[in-house]
Amino acid sequence: MPEGDTLYRTAAALRPHLVGRRILVASARQPGPRADRLVGATVESVESRGKQLLIHFDSGLELRTHLGMHGSWHRYAAGERWHRPAARARLALEVEGSVAVCFDAPTVELFDARAEVIHPILAALGPDLLAEQFGGAEIADAARRLRAAERASLTIAEALLDQGAMAGVGNVYKSEVLFVERVDPFARVADLVADRGDDVLRALIQSARRMLLANREGGARVTTEPPGAYRRSESRLWVYGLAGRPCRRCGSVILDLRHGRLNRRTFWCPRCQPA
């Protein structure tokens, strides 16, 4: 599933081709939104908010897509052949000179922008880790959300994936951040806070933002510090996807486990992140 840095790059790639341009043709696979309502509207902005991509129109409408595991946005020149079959397109927006196509996304939603404040997903999102303004207030808010009663019994690995706590962390950064901060992925949030206080939550939040910022411009994702020089076959990550290999820090074998309500895989070093 794309993480916050991927959506940031997607929005940045679409913005020059859509913002300020009028929608000439719009189509959506049904069941889905009535894309014809967008024809004639001008795109005002394209933004990412955590794992959500939002397009705002001067007509007062707002388009939300969530890419899930397999979705993606493509941009083509007018008349250019698409790289995927048209049957997989959930939505296509044509402006002068360009066509933006969203393929395979499980969520494509069109709604009145005024309803964003009560939107069941958007209104519940935690602070966006890639927001331009992200300081002490946002860190405190994310920490408060992480330790909230509804997450107290979750493992910290599960809590970091909860977009209602903070928006943008996915499975890769979850494992990487917990490793960097030497936190046991399977510690319950309540127990972790009782043992180490809010400082550990603030450290996780700041590490997550730092990693996302470092990777938002694209290229191979790198979380190791210092990055160093890599052979083509060498991973640029600390633990994610490296089960069975030696830990870069201590040489212990990296482990992985599927767990939690979402049955997501977590990778960790049992020596660097002791229970």
The residues that are catalytic are 2-3, 51, 264
Looking at the structure of the chain, the number of domains it has is 2
Q: Tell me the C-alpha distance between 229 and 187, whole Å.
A: 34
Q: Which of 33-42, 76-85, 197-206, 232-241 has the lowest mean pLDDT?
A: 232-241
Residue 207: the pLDDT is: 97
pLDDT at 250 exceeding the cut of 60: yes
In the numeric block, which tokens belong to residue 214?
């470092």
Shared-domain flag, residues 204 and 181: yes
> How buried is 160 (Cβ within 10 angstroms: 0-12 exposed, 13-18 middle, 19+ buried)?
buried
CATH number reported for the structural domain that contains residue 253 in this entry: 1.10.8.50
Q: Are 275 and 195 in contact, with CB atoms under 8 Å apart?
A: no
Beta-carbon contacts of 83 under 8 Å, excluding residues fewer than 6 positions away, are 74
Shared-domain flag, residues 115 and 141: no
Please name the amino acid found at residue 94. Answer: E
Domain that holds residue 67: 4-124
Shared-domain flag, residues 142 and 261: yes
Sign of CA dihedral 211, 123, 46, 100: positive
Q: Tell me the C-alpha distance between 204 and 143, whole Å.
A: 9
Quick check: bond before 106 cis, omega within 30? no
pLDDT tens digit string along 48-68? Answer: 999 999 999 999 999 999 999
